[in-house]
């Protein structure tokens, strides 16, 4: 059963709590050994960097997630990418944890929820990382129900596959839309929003790696 992790709660498989950054119990300390993070995504991950080349832009959540003992080991992202595009680009990565933040662009490309899930399953198989985190997608202010439906698909997929489903978007969301100041256009996070997302995902990655 999928778990949605909270940094300091010590949640095990089956726990369903919102992903978050440091809590009142304190932030996670850097691990004794580096945790290698792989990531596949779209513009939310690519932002102003070049993920395939290993260049993490300040506007990407990766620039916050891959810090203090977490290192970026490889992956792929491109603006506008669908899960089909990610699957086509997928290659094996030597990493401890794989984060997939995907699905935002699938509905607009005519891909069904079933196709999104199948593409992510195939991507994970091809990348070959044992520990997998499937992230919620960010809000879509112009059509919030689309992001909500996509996240339901992703949560169900993670549960069925035995992966972790994380909702780092809780920190940038108000209702089903972006919170004030967290988005540039109702679809992409601001730099501050990307940092919130990255901090939450870093916490989840560290918890998963410590299992």
What pLDDT, on the 0 to 100 scale, is given for residue 29?
56
DSSP H helices, 12-99, are: 43-46, 62-65, 83-89
Which has more pLDDT, 5 or 70?
70
Q: What is the pLDDT of residues 14-37, one digit of tens each?
A: 333 344 443 333 455 566 689 999
Q: What is the pLDDT of residues 58-80, one digit of tens each?
A: 999 999 999 999 999 999 999 99
Segments making up each domain of the chain, as ranges: 35-209
- Label residues 76-115 b or e (16+ Cβ within 10 Å = b): bbbeebbbbbbbebbeebebbbbbbbbbbbbbeeebebeb
Cα 209 to Cα 189: distance, rounded to the nearest angstrom: 26
- According to the CATH classification, is domain 35-209 in 3.40.50.300? no
Rounded percentage of the chain residues whose pLDDT exceeds 90: 84
Global model pTM greater than 0.85 = yes
């Amino acid at each position: 059963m999928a778990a949605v992790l909270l940094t300091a709660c010590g949640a095990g498989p089956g726990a369903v709590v919102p992903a978050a950054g440091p809590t009142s119990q304190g932030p996670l300390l850097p691990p004794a050994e580096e945790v290698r993070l792989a990531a596949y995504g779209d513009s939310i991950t690519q932002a102003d960097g070049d993920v395939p080349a290993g260049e993490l832009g300040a506007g990407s959540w990766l620039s916050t997630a891959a810090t203090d003992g977490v290192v970026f080991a490889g992956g792929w992202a491109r603006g506008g990418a669908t899960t089909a595009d990610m699957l086509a680009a997928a290659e094996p990565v030597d990493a401890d944890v794989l984060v997939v933040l995907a699905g935002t662009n699938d509905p607009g490309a005519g891909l069904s929820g079933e196709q999104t899930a199948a593409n992510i399953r195939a991507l994970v198989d091809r990348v070959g990382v044992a520990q997998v985190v499937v992230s919620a997608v960010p809000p879509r202010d112009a059509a919030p129900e689309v992001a909500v439906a996509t996240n339901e698909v992703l949560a169900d997929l993670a549960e069925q596959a035995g992966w972790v489903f994380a909702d780092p978007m809780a920190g940038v969301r108000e209702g089903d839309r972006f919170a004030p100041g967290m988005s540039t256009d109702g679809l992409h996070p601001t730099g501050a929003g990307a940092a919130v997302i990255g901090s939450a995902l870093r916490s989840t990655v560290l918890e998963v790696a410590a299992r």
